[in-house]
Amino acid sequence: MEAFKYAIDINQKRNLVVNLPTAVPVGKAEIVIIIQSLNDGQKRKVQIDLAARGNTPEQAADMRNRVISFEEDWNVPGMEIHDE
């Protein structure tokens, strides 16, 4: 299993074109899509490579679902101190 991360802009037609690396074999595959909306100009400070840490895309999605309930509280001004 391979995990890839792409930052994209979603157009009005909601179309998505992804050029996969040539190392991805031809054939049937299961694709998990997680959409994280970003505000204008918002960037993530740190990217964590979960695949490199042994997590599958399914495990990453499960983790995201478990912490989504406190995302708004975590992103209030002043919480960036915890990122450091």
Closest CA to 61 of 30, 83, 39: 30
User: What's the mean pLDDT in 70-79?
Assistant: 76
By C-alpha distance, which of 22, 37, 25 is closest to 1? 25
Give the number of domains in the chain: 1
CB-CB contact of 1 with 57 (8 Å): yes
Q: What is the pTM of this model?
A: 0.36
**Residue 13 sits in which domain range?**
1-84
Quick check: 5 and 47 in contact, CB under 8 A?
yes
CA nearest 34: which of 13, 52, 60? 60
- The pLDDT of residue 50 is 84
Check pLDDT > 80 for residue 41.
no
What is the average per-residue pLDDT within 9-36? 79
Percent of the chain with pLDDT over 90: 0
